[in-house]
Structure 1
């Protein structure tokens, strides 16, 4: 994350500017403060929640960051010594630079959202284990499936990568095909755009590692349909789906056919997106067996 770069530049510049080793505790404290602000779930506000395990985990985080500070500070001192120069910086400049990382990181990353996603993943995995232990199977609608309901309840600004992980967890349980179909119906006919969920679905559907063990047919088609006519999502799908198909041409039947891709080729789309979709259509055509192409014609 770019916002964390100043956090590490501070001790490096402090070493280059010739500050003494007594400055190290200041940067260790700043890194500890960054941890408290960005990972509040690891730093309970109530004393009763500070169990030995929590104390040990917090101490380990501080110790690791202390080692990083010492290494960066030492590198700065070493570079200055080898080069025979000292940066003419006031002592407060490196300190202020490291401190600046805290509000910057908080502006670009919401720790509450990350915590919510962690809780969701834990919940999804618990549900998977419950199903594997013989809990009731997926019902006839979205409301009857707790995992699908949890997916639909995700905030739209949730991290798409974590959303993709959540979808992967939900699709590992029995009833994945029905669950995926219900999810597609919700995205097609729901009143809420759910762009974050759509992006996560595309990332999941076009994941190379996951696709190698695909057990549900039409996953890539679902990812394509999730993009709708959104130029950014279509570009994301085409950019990831093309190398996946080239690496695993046997997935051709799970992809949208050339006619479906052609329907998305609107003149209003940026030329680069249109080119990506045309390249994907050509790859689908090439991967489709000749007899299947004849039957489609």
Structure 2
């Protein structure tokens, strides 16, 4: 995740490199509104929570905050443009480039930033980190997370095309002790419903549960069994689970109690399934059975 933040910073820098180069290319001040508009576009794309798509959600506070953001970015653009013109004049550094190059660089910042960073999923991670760093609760009965739990609600609200790896990071935050097991149960309760989609969340949960590098200590009980259940009868998700789970059970056979029963895995093999899925499920069932017998 740290690497993605560095990539985001690099992509964001292009947004401000554009007006600087435009000033060094001695473009007129009429170009400034173009860069201001591009900076506003970046804010809309990368900060959706602060720029609601639904007009009904635009309160007076949100309008004031949006205007303030645009004003700050406008000031930055003007200063960078002026610095560029100053460098071109005082230091005799004048770039002989097409006016479209600085504009293209600033525009390229928007899709690159969105490629490297999913702001919707990142909000879930930040919320989870804030919860984790919050005040230590007083001793007392631990509330059981349900589909109404804030972290569970945030995960279930993720779009179906959310970035899988960032969603895995969000799950890693949400499923930490002491509420990890009950939150996983709450997610499974919703995802087991046949009429629900949550494609990205299903894929991310399978990736999370079958991660070879996740330590055995502190593992959420039944995580692999939950991932198997959530995969349902979807060939792509089942194949993803079976192949990754097979590597995991072979590397850490002591986790076999967290896996589905070998019989249940075998029962998921259908003659109409792709051959590679049938082979993966069959191998997984054999590996689970072997691990249980060796225990």
Provide structure 1 residue ranges, at least 5 long, that are not aligned to the other structure: 5-21, 27-32, 60-90, 293-297
- Which residue pairs with 1:235 in the alignment? 239
Instruction: Indicate if the aligned counterparts of 1:131 and 1:173 stay in contact, CA closer than 8 A.
Output: no
How far is the alpha carbon of 1:191 from its aligned partner? 3.5
The alignment status of 1:199 with 2:199, answered yes or no, reads no
Regions of 4+ moved over 6 Å:
49-52
Q: Give the counterpart of 1:129 among 123, 126, 133.
A: 133
Question: TM (normalized to structure 1)?
Answer: 0.62
Provide structure 2 residue ranges, at least 5 long, that are not aligned to the other structure: 8-20, 26-37, 48-64, 81-96
- Which residue pairs with 1:183 in the alignment? 187
Please, what is the CA RMSD of the aligned residues? 4.5
Query: What does residue range 142-153 of structure 1 map to in structure 2 within 5 Å?
Result: 142-143=147-148, 145-153=149-157
- Which residue pairs with 2:146 in the alignment? 141
Query: What does residue range 72-91 of structure 1 map to in structure 2 within 5 Å?
Result: none
Q: 1:134 to 1:209 in 2, by over 3 A?
A: farther
Per-residue CA deviation, residues 75-96 of structure 1 (Å, 9 max, x unaligned), is xxxxxxxxxxxxxxxx99xx7x
Query: What does residue range 83-102 of structure 1 map to in structure 2 within 5 Å?
Result: 102=108
Per-residue CA deviation, residues 61-106 of structure 1 (Å, 9 max, x unaligned), is xxxxxxxxxxxxxxxxxxxxxxxxxxxxxx99xx7xx87x949957
Q: Hey, which of these two has a bigger chunk of helix by percent?
A: 1
How far is the alpha carbon of 1:118 from its aligned partner? 1.4
- Which residue pairs with 1:283 in the alignment? 287
Matched position secondary structure for 1:183 = helix
The alignment status of 1:273 with 2:284, answered yes or no, reads no
How far apart, CA to CA, are the structure 2 residues paired with 1:140 and 1:45?
A: 34
How far is the alpha carbon of 1:160 from its aligned partner? 1.3
Q: Give the counterpart of 2:228 among 221, 224, 227.
A: 224
Q: 1:154 to 1:48 in 2, by over 3 A?
A: closer
Question: TM (normalized to structure 2)?
Answer: 0.62
The alignment status of 1:250 with 2:261, answered yes or no, reads no
Instruction: Indicate if the aligned counterparts of 2:124 and 2:170 stay in contact, CA closer than 8 A.
Output: yes
- Which residue pairs with 1:160 in the alignment? 164
